[in-house]
Structure formats: structure tokens, C-alpha cells
Amino acid sequence: TLLSAHSQAVSELQFHPDRPEHLFTCSNSGELWHWNTTSFTKYSAINTLSNRSLEENPWLSNDAVKHRIEVSQLMPPLHLPVNSLDLNRSRLVCGSDTEAVYVIKNLPI
């Protein structure tokens, strides 16, 4: 299946170290995005009561669940590529062709 968001190539992606339902991506279009599947995870946990597996993975699921993935922008788009990102539990750092390093504190997770 295909998810579309960035208008140009993705330069890096990284899952949150403790919360893999959160994915972070940066792109050549100067965007830094947060992909959140928490609503899918909650839905799966509820359906577990009706004999569905907790092992469902929203990143590997079919098109029927893709509408439950929330994608948000973490900072205004830059006019040059965002090349790299790294994160710990509540902070994200990224580097760009603007010759700057950006730090995002208190990630919305």
C-alpha cells in the first residue's frame, strides 16, 4: 500500500524509540512530519475483545486502515531540504540545507 504526504523524496525516517506507533520523516521539500497511528492502535485494542490479534501493525496493514493515520507538520516547511533527523523521548533535532539545526521540544506523543 502507498501513503502519500511529502511532495519530494524522503531523506530520513525514524520510529520513536519507545512508541513505534509514531513515525517521523523529513524530506527534500523541506518538510518535517509526524505520522501518528495511535487511533489505529486504540481501535485494534478494542477489537481484541472480539478475538482480533493485538499484533496488528498499522504500518503493514491494508488500505482500509490508512485513513486512521494522522499526519501533522512539526514546523513550517523550509525552502531547502531537511536532510536528517534524530529523536529521543520528547525532543527531535533535524538538520537542513539552510545551514541550521532545529530542535523541537515536547513532541506531541
**What is the per-residue pLDDT across 40-74, written as a single tens digit (0 to 9) for each?**
655 555 555 555 554 567 777 666 666 778 899 99
Predicted TM-score (pTM) of the model is 0.81
Residue 1, domain member (yes or no): no
Q: Is residue 16 part of a domain?
A: yes
**Residue 15 is assigned to a structural domain of this protein:** yes
**5 occurs within a structural domain:** no
22 lies in some domain = yes
Query: pLDDT averaged over the chain?
Result: 84
Residue 19: domain span:
10-104
Query: Does residue 2 fall inside a structural domain?
Result: no
With a CB cutoff of 8 Å and minimum separation 6, the contacts of 59 are: 23, 37
Q: Which pairs count as long-range contacts for 17-23, CB under 8 Å and 24+ apart, including other chains? A: 17/87, 17/88, 17/89, 18/89, 19/109, 21/58, 22/107, 22/109, 23/59
Number of independent structural domains in the chain:
1
Within a domain: 3:
no
